[in-house]
Amino acid sequence: MKVPWLSPDWPAPPGIRAASTTRAGGVSTGPFASLNLGDRVGDDPAAVAENRRRLTASLGLPAEPAWLRQEHGIQVAEILPGAALARTGADGAFARRPGAVCVVQTADCLPVLLASRSGTVVAAAHAGWRGLAAGILEAVISRLGEDPGNLLAWLGPAIGRTAFEVGPEVRERFLSLDAGCADCFLAGRGDRWFADLPELARRRLRAVGVSSVHGGDICTFHDREQFFSYRRDGECGRMATLIWLEQAPDH
């Protein structure tokens, strides 16, 4: 069975491929139905392995994705073609050569893809609120060696503003970093707030000079048929957002 996926709507140059999965097209059952790609959520390892095999075959990937051990931090790993996958503890990945597939897993957190306009480097970041506040996007961008103005960004499916309820400490953390982000929070009941995770990411990207930012309009929480959502369901699977260089750019 061919795995369905979303294609980012962004002006990436030729030779850059990217995709974001839904929860459809796999063999997992129960709360992980059906294309769970996470191997640390309690699903049957054999089902996860088959789901990952289907993903690699359906997308025609040049190699197995470099699955990270995500920790809501700011570690960034360079992915090299043919290198052994060591389950690196990181929340960002980048690649400069064809044959290396960067990937992040999410189930409400924000996946962010980056690519240079020249088509020479690509990256993926796992940006939950903790990683975003800690500086995961800035950490990834600093590793790329590119003028941020020459980068493109795409924000994948994540929990939307009307569903992402947080405590006052989250709002205060972001305000301490960016006093202008108050509009990213809508007052809820009591001391609770609804946070606009994609807009917070856009502000962080713009602050470092990335002006070409796309996506960020798909909510995982409100679309049970298409997406896993940890905030909605608790026990659930993980989607994947991937990016890779298909071929060396022409010069």
Q: Are residues 6 and 242 in contact, defined by beta-carbon separation less than 8 angstroms?
A: no
pLDDT tens string, the chain, 251 residues long: the values are 789 999 999 999 999 999 999 999 999 999 999 999 999 999 999 999 999 999 999 999 999 999 999 999 999 999 999 877 667 799 999 999 999 999 999 999 999 999 999 999 999 999 999 999 999 999 999 999 999 999 999 999 999 999 999 999 999 999 999 999 999 999 999 999 999 999 999 999 999 999 999 999 999 999 999 999 999 999 999 999 999 999 654 44
Q: What is the CATH code of the structural domain delimited by 5-159+209-245?
A: 3.60.140.10
* Residue 164, amino acid: F
Residue 176 φ then ψ, to 5°: -70, -25
Which are the contacts of 198, defined by CB distance < 8 A and separation ≥ 6?
Answer: 110, 155, 158, 160, 161, 215, 216, 217
Q: What pTM does this model have?
A: 0.97
Listing DSSP states for 190-217 in one string gives: TT-EEE-HHHHHHHHHHHTT--EEEE--
Neighbouring-strand partners of residue 155: 112, 215
Q: How many CA atoms lie less than 13 Å away from 139 in the CB half-sphere?
A: 21
Residue 193 CA to residue 165 CA, distance in Å, equals 6
Q: State both tokens at 29.
A: 């059952």
Listing DSSP states for 38-94 in one string gives: -SSSS--HHHHHHHHHHHHHHHT-SS--B--B--SS--EEE--TT------B-SEEE
Neighbours of 199 (CB within 10 A): 16
Neighbouring-strand partners of residue 58: none
Which are the contacts of 142, defined by CB distance < 8 A and separation ≥ 6?
Answer: none
